[in-house]
Structure 1
């Protein structure tokens, strides 16, 4: 397993994003329950969002996000970046140990 940062960029007006926000958050919850997603939230200003995830590969995460309502309705794009956390807060250790 590796760690990834996913940058979500809105490509439609915020009113369109808000129409699918409940479904998007339900989609995210599925992967929080599985222990794959670690943290997520909107940018300020609301031009997109950030998500931290564990995963096997960049392609695995791109495949997962193909099922996101934001992707299905063509209202957001995704950039997936792998990173190696060499320093981290002690509270984050359980996530690192599970990699």
Structure 2
């Protein structure tokens, strides 16, 4: 599984202009089962995404299509971990998808 830290690389007013596009992109990946949770950091200097287990290259390709990344408004910091415990509802997402 992954925790993706989105670090804004531009002023918030510039980022805010493209948040609707970012929200559509997020919705697509929730529908595909790639993302499990996401939200803003309290500091408003970035966001967080929790992604299911998958090959790292697949995650990299998904993140490269983030409208904020395409416009170079965000940098993605990826923390990969192997979940040794999950809630029953998340157990299937800890297994890599091919």
Cα deviations across residues 68-98 of structure 1 (Å, max 9, x unaligned)? 1101111000112211111233443343367
Matches of 1:74 and 1:83, distance apart in 2: 26
- What is the root-mean-square deviation of aligned Cα atoms in Å? 1.8
Q: Is 1:48 aligned to 2:46, yes or no?
A: yes
When you count strand as a share of all residues, which structure comes out higher? 1
Cα deviations across residues 40-93 of structure 1 (Å, max 9, x unaligned)? 111111111111112422221111111111011110001122111112334433
CA contact (8 A) 1:42 1:49 kept: yes
Matches of 1:92 and 1:59, distance apart in 2: 22
Which structure 1 segments of 5+ residues have no match? none
Q: Is 1:8 aligned to 2:6, yes or no?
A: yes
Aligned residue pairs: how many?
A: 97
Matches of 1:21 and 1:51, distance apart in 2: 14
Match of 2:64 among 63, 66, 84: 66
SS of 1:56's equivalent in the other structure is coil
Stretches of 4+ aligned residues off by more than 4 angstroms: none
Q: TM-score, normalised by structure 1?
A: 0.86
Q: TM-score, normalised by structure 2?
A: 0.86
Matches of 2:76 and 2:48, distance apart in 1: 10
Matches of 2:17 and 2:85, distance apart in 1: 38
SS of 1:51's equivalent in the other structure is strand
